[in-house]
Amino acid sequence: MIELVSPCLHRIHLSETDVPASYHTLDMTIELEALLNRLRILHNTNVRNGTTSYVTFDDGWRDVLLIPKGFFRQHSNLQPVVFLTDEQFTDRPRWMPLHTLYAWMEDQGHTLDDLPQLGIDRATIKDWREDEQHTFLLKRLPAFDERPDYLSLQDLEILTKRGWKVASHGPEHSDLRTIPPDRLRTMLEESLTYLHGFGAELWLAWPEGRWNDEVVTLAHEVGFTKQFGLREEPRRGTSSLVEMRTLW
């Protein structure tokens, strides 16, 4: 049996200083040429096996535009997909809470090791709803007025013309398992409205790769046709409806 590899990526850089140091520490960024080389190898493997891999990019970073325009057309056994939260389908999305934190840390010269002394526990924050994350960080960090470097709606139009797929990274970037089922159903239905409005795929990549069989069944019931998780994330269920990706 052939095990299909579908990479999950976040940031892409040309030089190390292009993205805050926290992304390097967390292995959430990859140098462009290193990425392209790995993708070429994956494409060739797929050609031999007669398979196609999804190459997925979470959180909507504009870095993906660094990938040469015709790359995926030349490597047709790779299908690129960007996953966006609901807010990232709007004209002026806010920074995601942890992205705000990493940008502030870079500006202040802090590292992840400094967070305990600053009264900030990154792992705990990730367990909260997104509004709770925003509220906590706003009490400790200055507001960021500039637009985050996320893909604009115009950027998304460009990518779709190049053959990229656009899909959902959830109604918000938090552990959706913690939301009461009736409320989550409503939120997922709202996510589908954004996808329909853009003409995007009815696919869902669970934030942080966290899911259980109950939320997967709910997402399937409301109309999501594909769901994606992460192999490296232990907080997940067993449903065969979820396709597992590998962090690169």
Largest Cα–Cα separation, the chain: 54
Can you give the CATH number for the domain in which 198 is found? 3.20.20.370
- CA-based torsion, 203, 229, 7, 16: positive or negative: positive
Distance CA 97, CA 135 (A): 9
Region for 60 from its dihedrals, namely left if φ exceeds 0, alpha if ψ lies in -120 to 50, beta otherwise:
left
Q: What is the pLDDT of residue 25?
A: 98
Residues 158-168: pLDDT tens digits?
999 999 999 99
Q: What is the pLDDT of residue 59?
A: 98
Distance CA 159, CA 60 (A): 12
Name the domain count of the chain. Answer: 1
The verdict on residue 105 lying in a domain is no
- CA-based torsion, 109, 113, 117, 120: positive or negative: positive
> Which residues are CB-contacts of 174 (< 8 A; sequence separation ≥ 6)?
126, 128, 129, 130, 133, 207, 208
Q: Are 41 and 18 within 8 A, CB to CB? A: no
Distance CA 248, CA 246 (A): 6
Structure-token pair, residue 214: 């109950």
The verdict on residue 112 lying in a domain is no
Q: For 48-75, what is the mean pLDDT?
A: 97
The verdict on residue 240 lying in a domain is yes
Q: What is the pLDDT of residue 146?
A: 72
The verdict on residue 102 lying in a domain is no
84: pLDDT confidence band, cut at 50, 70 and 90? Answer: very high
Domain that holds residue 155: 7-96+150-247
The verdict on residue 1 lying in a domain is no
Average predicted confidence (pLDDT) for the chain: 95
The verdict on residue 124 lying in a domain is no
Helices of type H across the chain: 21-25, 32-49, 71-74, 97-108, 122-125, 130-138, 153-161, 181-198, 213-222
The verdict on residue 125 lying in a domain is no
Residues 166-191: pLDDT tens digits?
999 999 999 999 999 999 999 999 99
Q: What is the pLDDT of residue 143?
A: 74
Q: Which of 8-22, 64-78, 136-150 has the lowest mean pLDDT?
A: 136-150
User: Which residues does residue 229 pair with via DSSP β-bridges, in sequence order?
Assistant: 244
Q: For 117-128, what is the mean pLDDT?
A: 95
Distance CA 5, CA 2 (A): 9
Give the other-Cβ count within 10 Å of 163's Cβ. Answer: 12
The verdict on residue 31 lying in a domain is yes
Q: For 135-159, what is the mean pLDDT?
A: 89
Reply yes or no on whether the pLDDT at 1 is more than 60. Answer: no
Whether this model's pTM surpasses 0.85: yes
Percent of the chain clearing pLDDT 90 (strictly above): 93
45: Cα within 13 Å, side-chain hemisphere = 13
- What spatial distance separates the first Cα and last Cα of the chain, rounded to whole Å? 23
